[in-house]
């Protein structure tokens, strides 16, 4: 498995993983994803690839000295193999290199696997966003990891 920068040719695979992973997949359209790739000063995106197949992805955006992890997903067949953790570590290292002071994200309250991953990775709870998610409606736990 390798981690590399996402390119436009990866968008079909990313859309497929999104559809399998998130009830909110429709909130990220292909034009939005393409626009993100065209603005590397504002966004960064990576894919996890094995045998020429994209099996996971992560993308984030930057505002000043902060970053927001917008989405991280791994194909259901490839979960529980450390891929999400590798993607996250890649993003965190990139954020540090950019001088980011804090990385934020939201996660569904019910997504205990993701919450465990982020807590093991140094995130702390920073608040709750009530009814942040739709399909179904659910609160988001807001997490932050700060540069030491």
For residue 100, the 8-state DSSP code is -
Q: Is 133 a catalytic residue?
A: no
The bridge status of strand 53-63 relative to strand 66-74 is antiparallel
**Cis status of the peptide bond prior to 79, with omega within 30 of 0:** no
Over residues 122-139, mean pLDDT: 92
pLDDT of residue 24: 64
Q: Provide the domain count of the chain.
A: 1
Provide the domain limits for residue 31.
Answer: 2-146
Q: What is the CATH number of the domain that holds 83?
A: 3.40.630.30
Could you tell me the pTM of the whole model?
0.88
Whether 106 is catalytic? yes
For residue 57, give the nearest of 100, 26, 107, 17 by alpha carbon. Answer: 17
Q: What is the mean pLDDT of residues 1-28?
A: 85
Catalytic residue among 118, 125, 132, 138: 118
Could you say which of 43, 59, 106, 133 is catalytic?
106
- For the stretch 52-88, pLDDT in tens is 999 999 999 999 999 999 989 999 999 999 999 999 9
């Amino acid at each position: 498995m390798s981690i590399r920068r996402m390119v436009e040719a990866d968008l079909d695979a990313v859309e497929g993983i999104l559809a399998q992973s998130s009830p909110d997949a429709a909130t990220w359209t292909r034009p939005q994803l393409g626009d993100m790739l065209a603005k590397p000063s504002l966004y960064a995106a990576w894919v996890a690839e094995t045998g020429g197949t994209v099996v996971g992805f992560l993308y984030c955006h930057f505002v000043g000295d902060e970053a927001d992890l917008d989405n991280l997903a791994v194909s259901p067949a490839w979960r529980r193999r450390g891929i999400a953790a590798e993607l996250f570590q890649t993003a965190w290292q990139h954020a540090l290199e950019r001088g980011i002071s804090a990385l934020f994200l939201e996660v569904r309250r019910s997504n205990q696997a993701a919450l465990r991953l982020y807590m093991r990775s140094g995130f702390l709870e920073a608040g709750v966003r009530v009814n942040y998610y739709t399909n179904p409606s659910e609160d988001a736990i807001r997490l932050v990891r700060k540069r030491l």
